[in-house]
Amino acid sequence: MQKVVKVFISHASEDKARFVEKLATELRENGIDAWLDKWEIKIGDSIVDKIFEFGIKQCKVFIIVLSKNSVNKPWVKEELNSAVVKKIENNCRIMPIIIDDDIEVPTALNHLVWKRIRDISNCNDELSEIINSILEIQEKPPLGTTKHKIIQMPTISGYSSIDTAIFKIIGDLVLENDRIDRFVEGEHFYPKIKEFQISEEEALETLEILEKGGTIKSQYAIGSKQPIYFKMTEYGFYRYCSYYLDDFERIIIDTVSKIFNENIFRYTLISEQLNVQKVVIYCIFEYFDNKGFITTVKAMGGVYDIINITGIGKRTFREMLQ
């Protein structure tokens, strides 16, 4: 699963308006979940809990903005000390960014590569480099043509690179159609696999493997080895969302909140209110139903309603929302 990278930005309050907000905004606009105190800490919150438990503890990258304002701030030093411990324990990356000249870099950062911003009013190139570093995008020249383009695609556990590519192609088509029950026909599928230089023989082998794994269902004509059409199962699409849908975990939590806190029991209404495609909420309902968290009723016309939240469902939802 391609997880959204969570980043904590340690800084002096004096640097917020002149650089840090621009940095955090750029990160979020590029799919990086930047944690900034201004956005995360609300009236009545515990500052310590918010910063250390929900900010630093959950981040994968710790950015420290070094300036004349921040280098001697006790609070910034505490955040850095916490990040250093987390780096040792959990492989958290620490990324120093220097925005002022003639400052003394903390000893704990001497062994790291820094990024110096020469002009904070004109730093788009430096921000792009920071974003690429966080996302681990390397600007190396390609090694050359490979048999399959999909060799460079991150593989799903238990799947080969071809399995992963075909699984994603089918999931993309489901998301595009916004329907889990719509069959995928060969005329839409086979042109896409050619883009990845996958042969029909390899595709048929993968379709059989995916079907045995419960992620797709195929329909064959009598005497034919090639399916007429196939569709992704609810389980398969839930797995697809887990790997490829940005912030899927947050969508699940928001769905639980709509069900448990607001008593909204129809998946189409939750889809509209969260501005999330219907097929995504539908599969979350299916997952909850299969887990025994809810009981549901399906009717003609696409109606899919929750009729009851079970005891284990109430307990699970309550824990998820804490």
Identify whether residues 257 and 160 lie together within a single domain.
Answer: no
Q: Nearest 5 degrees, angle CA 322-CA 89-CA 115?
A: 100
Of 47-51, 102-106, 225-229, 280-284, the range with the highest mean pLDDT is 280-284
pLDDT tens digits, 53-72: 778 888 889 898 999 988 88
Residue range 234-241: mean pLDDT, rounded: 90
30 is in which domain, residue-wise?
6-134
Given pLDDT bands bounded at 50, 70 and 90, which one contains residue 169? confident
Closest C-alpha among 241, 20, 250 to residue 117 = 20
Position 1 scores a pLDDT of: 44
| Reported pTM | 0.51
Q: What percentage of the chain carries pLDDT values higher than 90?
A: 30
Q: Which residue has the tokens 């840090």?
A: 20
**Count of domains in the chain?**
3
Name the domain boundary from 83, 110, 134: 134
Report residue 291 as tokens.
């887990």
Is 156 contained in some domain?
yes
Is there a single domain that holds both residue 264 and residue 183? no
Q: How many helices (H) and strands (E) does the chain have?
A: 13, 10
Residues 71, 99, single domain; the answer is: yes
Is residue 154 in a domain? yes
Q: Report yes or no on 144 lying in a domain.
A: no
Residues 100 and 181 in one domain: no
Q: Indicate which CATH number applies to the domain containing 273.
A: 1.10.10.10
- CATH code, domain carrying 44: 3.40.50.10140
For residue 121, how far is the Cα from the chain centroid?
31
- Specify the DSSP element, H or E, that contains 70: none
Q: How far apart are CA 9 and CA 136, in angstroms?
A: 18
Same domain for 183 and 276, yes or no, is no
Same domain, 123 and 231: no
| Same domain for 175 and 78 | no
Q: Are 162 and 230 found together in one domain? A: yes
Alpha-carbon distance of 55 to 58, in angstroms, equals 6
